[in-house]
Amino acid sequence: MKKYTRQRLILDLIEENIIKTQEELSEYLQKSGVRATQATISRDIKELRISKVQTVDGDYRYSIIDTVHDSLNERLIKIFRSAVLSIRRNDDLIIVKTILNTGTVCGHAITNAKIKGIAGIITGNDTIFIAVDEKRDIDKIIDEIKSIVK
């Protein structure tokens, strides 16, 4: 797994779970199919500027500093804007074509946009397939994806 993808996963895991130690983070990564050494996890935490913050209970947990998360999202959006070639509807799916080898990164940008109504995303090297919850919302979702490009 590429460093960027692993770090994106670490940010998602810390955002979605209460993680108190590197060992817990390692377990979450393993459950997601990622094996990383303690040294790698430690470097990722340092590079991502993840901090430990005190909870109301007095415990400590990892937390993301918003500026780091925002910075990564800005980079994803910048890549998305330069890599997307077309966004179109194909009956029940939305198909996004990208330049070669940017499909996964662009898929992450769409995921991070947290657009309501997206049931799932499958990415390839240069194509993203997006399934929607309700077919009637497909045009609205396409408009929201297109707004990321602007």
Confidence class for position 67, pLDDT limits 50, 70, 90: low
CA separation, residue 39 to residues 4, 22, 43, 69, 128 (Å): 16, 10, 6, 22, 34
- Which burial class, exposed, middle or buried, applies to 109 when counting CB atoms under 10 A from its CB (0-12, 13-18, 19+)? buried
Q: Which amino acid is at 5?
A: T
Secondary structure in 3-state letters for 55-78: CCCCCEEEECCHHHHHHHHHHHHH
Question: Where do the CATH 1.10.10.10 domains begin and end in the chain?
Answer: 3-67
- With cut-offs at 50, 70 and 90, classify the pLDDT of residue 92: very high
Other C-beta atoms lying within 10 Å of the C-beta of residue 2: 9
pLDDT of residue 4: 85
pLDDT for the residue numbered 2: 84
Q: Domain 76-149 carries which CATH code?
A: 3.30.1360.40
Mean pLDDT of the chain: 91
Residue 70, pLDDT above cutoff 80 = no
Domain with CATH 3.30.1360.40 in the chain: 76-149
Class at the top of the CATH hierarchy for domain 3-67: mainly alpha
Strand 51-54 and strand 60-63: pairing?
Answer: antiparallel
Q: What is the pLDDT of residues 2-36, one digit of tens each?
A: 888 899 999 999 989 999 999 999 999 999 999 99
Instruction: Name the region of 33 (left: φ>0; alpha: ψ -120 to 50; beta: rest).
Output: left
pLDDT recorded at residue 73: 78
Q: What is the mean pLDDT of residues 50-72?
A: 79
pLDDT digits (tens, 9 = 90+) for 77-91: 999 999 999 999 998
Radius of gyration of the chain (CA): 17
Residue-wise burial string across 95-104, b where 16 or more C-beta atoms lie within 10 A, e elsewhere? ebebeeebbb
* Contact indicator for 110, 79 with CB cutoff of 8 Å: no
Return the pLDDT at 132.
97
Could you tell me the pLDDT band of residue 68, with boundaries at 50, 70 and 90? low
| H or E, element range at 37 | none
Q: With cut-offs at 50, 70 and 90, classify the pLDDT of residue 72.
A: confident
What integer pLDDT is reported at residue 66 of this predicted model?
Answer: 61
